[in-house]
Chain A
Amino acid sequence: MPNQSNAHAAQEQANISKQVDVNLSTLSAFFTDNSNYRHRILQISDTESALAICYLDILIDEKHLNSQLLQLNLDAINEDTVMECLSTMGSVQTFTDHQAIATFLFNAGFICLVQGKEEAYGIPIPGYQTRSIEESKTEPVVRGPRESFNEQIQTNLAMIYRRLKTPYLKTKKYTIGSNSNTEVQAVYLQHLVDKMVLAEFERRIGQVKLDTLIESAQLEEQIQDHVFTPFPQIAMTERPDRIVAALNEGRIVVLVDGTPSVLIIPTLFTDFLQASEDYYERFYFANVTRALRILALVISLLGPSLYVALTTFHQEMLPTPLLLTFSAAKSGVPFPTFIEALIMEIAFELLREAGIRLPRTVGQTISIVGALVIGEAAVQSGIVSRPMVIVVATTGIASFAIPAFNAAIAFRIMRFPIMFIAAATGVFGIAICSLLLILHVSSLRSFGAPLLSPVAPMHWRSWLKNIFIVPYQVRESRGSGASLPEYQMNQLDEYSKSKE
């Protein structure tokens, strides 16, 4: 284990020495077996003192570095003027220990070591490839800004800054992950944010324990209020316009380097049913779409269960002509309705899963096979009845109509237990399940804010803001034009204590 012992030795010599050679050997020990670590020693002629630079060649723009070095008047550099000279190359950071230098090198910068100085100078000069700003693939709109976040936190932050040109916009930087040292930024508007939520957020993020932070979901998992519920309590988006709207409502947004998914804290359940385009179209249309989404939610949760319950327990609830149609379709089908529903649902879920994971080029095949299997072949071979195909297809479409993917999958999962109960107890079971589900969701909180607010607890006035869309002229507006969702923050204190 020579590498480890070298690293340990390097850590022991944490502070930078006046000797460039000593510093370079310490750093080399740090980066043993790392082929991308480079260092160069530049002699400064008249003083015989040395200037060394070190970097990770794959992270920085080497060409740019070379041209910068050429422009540098090496003769003018001495212990006193080094800072002055380097600042022409970019913003200079000063380091006094090797650990910090190593971290800086990983953040795409180069380090300057000067003979006789007990500090090192770092200048960021990133040169790695990143994905450009592209149109959002998961949250597309017809009208509205097209750009979406990418994997680089600086680009993402810039997109927010460009949209909110106010000194009230504050960012707090955290570094999370003992191995990944991932940059996390919490952004909020100082005059609108709820101070208690902010304090609670800081408390929770301080307790996060992670080796490697890759996706904001890992962070979400550790800072959310309830672990064992299928329902998400923190909304996620990759649209900057949505983030800006959230900031304007006094929420905190959390950006994680390396992922375009940005978290919104706190979240209300209604957020999962809203798309940013709701605010870009005329309000009549937006309200109708929102109503449709609520319907879609109910269908995606209860669709097959209701069909199973109605056709096996409560045939009297169906109109006679409809019953005759269902009955005709059912004749000759070998399975009980419930098994039929289960077969189709599983087939549909398989297809959906396969469709997501397959490479694009093969994706076409899956959709053709899926259409044949689910649409035609299943009915023709007499395994399932035609109405069942329609029910499953409608349910599938309905679950796609919920804008938030993380909420939609929760309903997708809940559909199955409800189906089982509907097959055993009919509409009565569905009613009990729905009741339990509503009770459960209304008990959930997102950073102290009841998830179901403003429905439970009831705030009629907030309905105009969070559930319906009314024209600006009718909407009660704050001085700044922003509107805060009315959370019930009063219990947050006790709540935090109880969690501890």
Chain B
Amino acid sequence: MMLWDRRFVAYAFICLYLLLLLSSCSTDIRELNQVSIVMATGIDWDQDTNKHQITVYTLQPTSKGTNATQQDSLNEWLGSATGNSIMESAQHLRFRASKKLFWFHNRIFIISRDAARHSMPEIIDFLQRNREIRSTSLVLISDVNAEQILKTKPETQDLVVNELFGMIRNQDETGNSLGISVKDLINKDANPTQGYITGRVVTRTPKEKSEPVLALHGSALLQKGTFVNWLSSDETAIVRLLTDPDKDKVQTTFVVKDQEHDFDSITAQVAIKSRKIRSYFVGDQPEMDIYFDFTCIINELKHNQTANQMNIPALEKVIKKSIQQNFQHVITKAQRKVKVDYLEFGNHLYQHHPNKWKQIQPKWNTVFEKMPVHVTVNLTIWNTGNVQ
């Protein structure tokens, strides 16, 4: 039996070598009570001074008392600093911050409209370069100063950032707004021919309150690193139905006012069963066929008795027609009025006709404006609700 194992000596040496790392690596240690956790960041740009401002909403949890009933409290800190660039402002923030700012858990970035209009490329670059920023954080555009949004008192006892996060999550049910991730923002912005949308956050004072509260309202349209326009909630819903990569997730509600039939007013909740987009060329002119198959649940009817079995095909027809009109309206608006392709038609052509796309890409804006788009909607009423 060999008492001294040669491999043991080798392991011992490796362990000793690892011990050498002790001193060199310990500077990376960041004890939990030395950090301030940034939960949301606002980015503003001031036209008069031509300076950027960064506002952080941070949490420094502490526990009060030491007995069994001790309660944790979250010390909120809202700090802002200005500078000639975003990074400089972020560094100036350290003049005020008492602890290490820790960005890994930042969940939401709020960019003011002015900043989005003036310095979106810098913002995107900042988000891209910073190692601590998670690509899954969400980006929202505000029409007031981002600082003001973060200063707004939350309606519930929760944190502002949790409220905003919850609002964004709720939008999947209605499709009326959204929040795109930093990763998507970076990817989408890299394509100059395509516009893209992200949520719009506003402050408004509801009747029952005296102080302003936060709300999501439609979306902001951006293209080529600049803010273009606001989109309404209904338009956002249609755009999401057309472009959302996760088609099973999106659903939306249509209210159909129909004077010609007995139904009068129908509220229908629709979800995508299948979505087919086909592009083809007639000569040099691209054309689009969009086919939607929806499943539909009737949420509300003005005249209950109309929801009997006989009327279902008629109901379907009315809802179908209305949805089709909505689609046409949004597409026409994008083509004629806004003149920005935020419906991802260009992407579709690039994927399916890469050679022809190369030819039309330089003049895509003019081609897009004139491109015929045919929308066909099929719809099945799945459920007419509980009232028989």
Contacts and interface: CB of A to CB of B under 8 A. Distances in A.
Contacts of B310: none
A424 B4 contact: no
Nearest to A204: B1
A312 B61 contact: no
A152 interface: no
Contacts of A332: 33, 62-63
Nearest to A225: B1
Given A324-B37, A424-B22, A315 B102 contact: yes
A328 B74 CA distance: 8
A323 B39 CA distance: 12
B105 A323 contact: yes
A380 B2 CA distance: 52
Interface in A425-462: 425-426, 429, 432-433, 436, 440, 443
Nearest to A432: B18
| Interface of A (DSSP majority class) | helix
**Chain A interface: which size bin?**
35 or more
A379 B62 contact: no
A312 B29 contact: yes
Interface stretch (A54-62, A112-120, A226-234, A402-410): A226-234
A330 interface: yes
Interface string A345-370: 00000000000000000000000000
A325 interface: yes
Contact of B66 (A325, A336, A381): A381
A429 B29 CA distance: 13
B32 interface: yes
Contacts of B95: none
B67 A380 contact: yes
Top 8 closest A-B pairs, CB basis? Answer: A328-B61, A316-B104, A328-B72, A330-B32, A424-B22, A331-B62, A327-B61, A327-B32
B15 to A, nearest CB: 7
A275 B105 CA distance: 44
Given A312-B29, A420-B19, 5 more contacts: A330-B33, A331-B61, A376-B68, A382-B66, A429-B21
A449 to B, nearest CB: 16
Interface residues of B, number: 42
6 contacts: A207-B1, A227-B4, A229-B5, A312-B32, A331-B60, A336-B31
B33 A313 contact: no
B272 interface: no
Nearest to A330: B32
B32 A424 contact: no
Contacts of A440: 7, 11
Contacts of A417: 15
A311 interface: yes
A224 B37 CA distance: 53
A324 B25 contact: no
Given A324-B74, A332-B63, A424-B21, A313 B107 contact: no
Interface of B: 1-5, 7-8, 11, 14-15, 18-19, 21-22, 25-26, 28-33, 35, 37, 39, 59-63, 66-68, 72-74, 102, 104-105, 107, 132, 134
A229 B26 CA distance: 29
A227 B5 contact: yes
Contact of A312 (B19, B30, B63): B30
B153 to A, nearest CB: 20
B164 to A, nearest CB: 14
A229 B4 CA distance: 10
A226 B5 contact: yes
B32 A315 contact: yes
Contacts of B5: 226-229
B8 A424 contact: no
A461 B164 CA distance: 54
Question: Counting chain B CB atoms within 10 Å of each CB, which of A228, A336, A432 scores highest?
Answer: A228
Given A327-B32, A333-B33, A227 B62 contact: no
Given A331-B61, A424-B21, A380 B66 contact: yes
Nearest to B75: A331
A380 B66 CA distance: 5
Contact of B104 (A311, A315, A443): A315
Interface in A378-430: 379-382, 417, 420-421, 423-426, 429
A435 to B, nearest CB: 10
A32 B12 CA distance: 54
A325 B102 CA distance: 16
A341 B14 CA distance: 24
Contacts of A311: 31-32
Nearest to A439: B11
A498 B7 CA distance: 14
B25 A316 contact: no
